[in-house]
Chains A and B, each alone.
Chain A
Amino acid sequence: MIEIDNLTKTYGAGPQAYQALRGVTATVRANEFFTLLGPSGCGKTTLLRMIAGFETPTSGKLLLDGQDVSASPPYRRPVNTVFQSYALFPHMTCAENIGFGLKMLGKPKAEITRTVGEMLDLVQMTPMANRRPSQLSGGQQQRIALARALAPKPKVLLLDEPLSALDYKLRKDMQIELKRIQKDTGITFVFVTHDQEEALTMSDRIAIMNAGTIRQIGSPRDIYDQPAERFVADFIGETNFLTVGLLGVAGQTARVALPSGRELDLRAPGELPKGPQVTMAIRPEHLELVAADAGQLSGRLSNIVYFGTDTHFHVDLGEGGALVVRSQNKPDQMPRLTAGEAVGISVLPGTGQVLRD
Chain B
Amino acid sequence: MADRKRFDVRALPGLSFMAGSCFVLLYLPILLVVIYSFNAGNTVSIWEGFSWRWYQAAWNNAAVQEATLRSLMVASIASVLATAAAVLAALATTRSRGFRGRGIVLGLINQPLMVPEIVTAVGLLIVFSMIKVATGYQGIGYVILAHASFCTPFAFMSIRARLQGMDLSLENAGADLYGTPVRIFRHVTLPQLWPGILSGWMLAFVISLDNVVITEFVKSAGQDTLPTYMLGQLRRKITPEINAISTVLLLISIALVITAYLAGRKRA
Do A and B interact?
A: yes
A residues near B (Cβ < 8 Å) are 52-54, 73-75, 79-81, 83, 85, 87-91, 100-101, 104-105, 148-149, 152
Q: A73–B174 Cα gap in the complex (Å)? A: 12
Residues of A near B3 (CB, < 8 A) are: none
Q: Which 8 A-B pairs have the closest CB atoms?
A: A101-B177, A104-B178, A87-B173, A87-B169, A74-B175, A91-B191, A104-B179, A75-B178
Contact B177 A87 (CB under 8 A): no
8 more A-B residue pairs beyond the given contacts A75-B177, A148-B177, A149-B177, with a C-beta to C-beta distance below 8 A:
A75-B178, A80-B177, A81-B176, A83-B169, A83-B173, A88-B173, A89-B188, A100-B179
**Is B267 in contact with chain A by the CB < 8 A criterion?**
yes
**Is B262 in contact with chain A by the CB < 8 A criterion?**
no
9 contacts between A and B (CB under 8 A): A52-B176, A85-B167, A87-B167, A89-B174, A90-B170, A91-B267, A100-B179, A104-B178, A104-B187
Residues of A near B188 (CB, < 8 A) are: 89
Residues of B near A148 (CB, < 8 A) are: 177
Contact A87 B172 (CB under 8 A): yes
Residues of A near B174 (CB, < 8 A) are: 89, 100, 104
Q: A105–B177 Cα gap in the complex (Å)? A: 8
Among B157-205, those with CB < 8 Å from A are 167, 169-170, 172-180, 183, 187-188, 191-192
By CB atoms of chain A within 10 A, which of B167, B173, B174, B177 has the most?
Answer: B177
Contact with A89, one of B173, B180, B267 (Cβ below 8 angstroms): B173
By CB atoms of chain A within 10 A, which of B170, B172, B173, B187 has the most?
Answer: B173
Q: A353–B176 Cα gap in the complex (Å)? A: 44
Residues of B near A87 (CB, < 8 A) are: 167, 169-170, 172-173
Contact A91 B192 (CB under 8 A): yes
User: CB-nearest residue of chain B relative to A103?
Assistant: B187
User: CB-nearest residue of chain B relative to A151?
Assistant: B177
B residues near A (Cβ < 8 Å) are 167, 169-170, 172-180, 183, 187-188, 191-192, 267
User: CB-nearest residue of chain A relative to B171?
Assistant: A87
User: CB-nearest residue of chain B relative to A76?
Assistant: B178
Contact A152 B177 (CB under 8 A): yes
User: CB-nearest residue of chain B relative to A77?
Assistant: B176
Give the A-B pair count, Cβ closer than 8 A.
62
Residues of B near A53 (CB, < 8 A) are: 175-176
Contact with A75, one of B167, B175, B187, B192 (Cβ below 8 angstroms): B175
- Nearest Cβ distance between residue B264 and chain A, in whole angstroms? 16
Residues of A near B178 (CB, < 8 A) are: 75, 101, 104-105, 152
User: CB-nearest residue of chain B relative to A100?
Assistant: B177
- Nearest Cβ distance between residue B102 and chain A, in whole angstroms? 16
- Nearest Cβ distance between residue B181 and chain A, in whole angstroms? 8
Residues of B near A91 (CB, < 8 A) are: 191-192, 267
- Nearest Cβ distance between residue A135 and chain B, in whole angstroms? 13
Residues of A near B191 (CB, < 8 A) are: 91
Q: A152–B173 Cα gap in the complex (Å)? A: 13
Contact B179 A54 (CB under 8 A): no
Q: A136–B168 Cα gap in the complex (Å)? A: 21
Residues of A near B176 (CB, < 8 A) are: 52-54, 74-75, 79-81, 149
Contact A54 B183 (CB under 8 A): no
- Nearest Cβ distance between residue A86 and chain B, in whole angstroms? 9
Contact A73 B175 (CB under 8 A): yes
User: CB-nearest residue of chain A relative to B175?
Assistant: A74
User: CB-nearest residue of chain B relative to A145?
Assistant: B173
Q: A104–B169 Cα gap in the complex (Å)? A: 17
User: CB-nearest residue of chain B relative to A158?
Assistant: B176
- Nearest Cβ distance between residue B171 and chain A, in whole angstroms? 9
User: CB-nearest residue of chain A relative to B170?
Assistant: A87
Contact with A100, one of B167, B187, B267 (Cβ below 8 angstroms): B187
User: CB-nearest residue of chain A relative to B169?
Assistant: A87
Residues of A near B180 (CB, < 8 A) are: 75, 104
Residues of B near A88 (CB, < 8 A) are: 173
- Nearest Cβ distance between residue B35 and chain A, in whole angstroms? 45
Q: A87–B169 Cα gap in the complex (Å)? A: 6
- Nearest Cβ distance between residue A280 and chain B, in whole angstroms? 46
Residues of A near B267 (CB, < 8 A) are: 90-91
Q: A80–B176 Cα gap in the complex (Å)? A: 6
Contact A104 B177 (CB under 8 A): yes
Q: A53–B267 Cα gap in the complex (Å)? A: 30
Residues of A near B192 (CB, < 8 A) are: 90-91
- Nearest Cβ distance between residue B24 and chain A, in whole angstroms? 44
Residues of A near B172 (CB, < 8 A) are: 54, 74, 81, 83, 87
Residues of B near A100 (CB, < 8 A) are: 174, 177, 179, 187
Q: A186–B254 Cα gap in the complex (Å)? A: 60
Q: A54–B179 Cα gap in the complex (Å)? A: 13
Residues of A near B183 (CB, < 8 A) are: 104
Contact B177 A85 (CB under 8 A): no
- Nearest Cβ distance between residue B81 and chain A, in whole angstroms? 27
Residues of B near A105 (CB, < 8 A) are: 178
Residues of A near B173 (CB, < 8 A) are: 81, 83, 87-89
Q: A53–B172 Cα gap in the complex (Å)? A: 10
- Nearest Cβ distance between residue A334 and chain B, in whole angstroms? 53
User: CB-nearest residue of chain A relative to B178?
Assistant: A104
Residues of A near B179 (CB, < 8 A) are: 75, 100, 104
